[in-house]
Amino acid sequence: MSNWLHGAVIYQIYPRSFRDSNGDGVGDLLGIVEKLDYVASLGVDAIWISPFYRSPMKDYGYDIADYSDVDPMFGALGDFDLVVQRAHALGLKVILDLVFSHSSDQHAWFQESRFSRDNAKADWYVWADAKPDGAPPNNWQAMFGGPSWTWDSRRRQYYLHNFLPEQPDLNLRDPQVQDALLDVVRFWLARGVDGFRLDVVNFYTHDAQLRDNPPLNLARTPARPHQMQRHLYDRTQPETFAFLARLRALLDQHGAIAIGEIEDEEPQKVQMDYTAGADRLHSAYSFFLLRAAEATPALFAQAMDGWNDAAGWPAWSLSNHDVVRVATRWAGDDPGRTQLMLAILLAMRGTAFIYQGDELGLPHAFVSYERLRDPEAIAFWPNGIGRDGARTPMPWTITKPMVGFTVGDDAWLPVDPRHRAMAADVQDAAPDSVLAATRKLVLARRNSIALREGRYEPLDAPAGVLAFARVSPAQRVICLFNLMPTPQAIPLPAPPQSLLISIGEAKIEGASAHLGGNSGLLVEI
């Protein structure tokens, strides 16, 4: 484990929507350079940059056509080098998003693989014969709707894709594929990056026998067909660990890290499995918190339970580019409750991700059907997640057109009118803003060895209150969060030494903590 990852706070940048430096309506790498001082002012340890590689943008960069080049809409390799140089000068580490479960169908590897059954890259993707009646090889369903198999008339076989048909699955069972992907890692390590976020890392291998997934036999039909099966065979296969061991050995040689994204029906178990030991990932996060509809004490307690004795280290996020923003999902678009959610995140044991705009408390944006760009949102409209609502332009300056995101007249997605009054420059001048609270919380975490690395100990508390301690040999911090609108008084287990931070109407009186509705505090005892 690289020690810097213990308790680190990582800021996710979705480059298309962060800052547009040239007025074409799409954020770019030079825009990131312009705003890195702002990111550093948050006190975070690193940035995670979502894909900016060459891509036909069917899934907005998560369909990669060239792993070792920058798409012209984002700039050039020299611009990326400037990002690394400026980030490192500010004390920020740089983590790149790598998508190894699949590529674009426009990648040269796939173009060669689909040409015939006997070319040099014939087995670099997952191909299978049709059933005798012409049906796909099995019943697997894609995340974005429809079967996970598409027929290719040249090879006269089906190819596997867990997402769009334009995102064919790489065959990581093939050592040559593994070698090629490790060369991609070497390319970016040589340019100075400090680590990688691995997209859907547990999708890397599939069942060699292509067995059908069993049905869930649900009482109510879900919105997506893939939700109707138990995903026993199309993901989370043990063969993935052999590749992760090779990847980990390479990263350890360079002092770099890897954090995996887990999408599974048993998120906690798989998080632990994928971080269990020195030959697996340095950390992993799942959708356990990201998909939860309600924030409850039991939810957070369940998230943290078991990690003290696990071999690995967890990571947590409340928002990202794929889900409804936390301010809307859990806080009812209330800035005070949003601050409480961020306080819980930054008190949890593990590495914390903050998605761009969450430090401003941005609500999930409304995007009309006519302006939707996300293929998932369009396919499942009006009942989908609406990922475009988490991807609208970052509001920088209240007085500028397009809130300072671009010097142009429009952007690839519209600006939500509610976001203008929440622009970074407005909140920078407001001591009670979500931005000010985020900076205080990150600083409190940075200055506390218990919050960065301490054990998690659950504490008894009244209904609606999340209570736990973070404990290191040198420090004990009590973390109390009232998730209810009614006030609560809670006795402290020992005399308080210092109040680290309070959120909302929370204070210490004698030997008790008095928590107003939707408030919290961190106190050293």
d(CA 42, CA 35): 12
DSSP 237-269: -TTHHHHHHHHHHHHHHHT-EEEEEE--SSHHH
- The answer to whether the beta carbons of residues 348 and 481 sit under 8 Å apart is no
Active site residue: 20, 166, 261, 359, which one? 261
| CB neighbour burial string for 109-121, b if at least 16 within 10 angstroms, e if fewer | bbeebbeeeeeeb
- DSSP 8-state code for residue 125: B
77-89 helix and 29-41 helix, angle to the nearest 10 degrees? 10
Strand ranges (E), 350-454: 351-355
- The answer to whether the beta carbons of residues 389 and 357 sit under 8 Å apart is no
Q: Which of 258, 233, 230, 238 minimizes the C-alpha distance to 100?
A: 258
User: What φ, ψ does residue 184 adopt, rounded to 5°?
Assistant: -60, -45
Q: In the annotation, is 261 catalytic?
A: yes
d(CA 192, CA 81): 8
Residue type, 441: L
Whether the bond between 375 and the residue before it is cis, its omega within 30 degrees of 0, is no
Task: Give the number of other Cβ atoms within 10 Å of residue 135's Cβ.
Answer: 12
Active site residue: 199, 322, 374, 388, which one? 199
d(CA 369, CA 379): 11
Q: In the annotation, is 174 catalytic?
A: no
> Which positions are catalytic?
199, 261
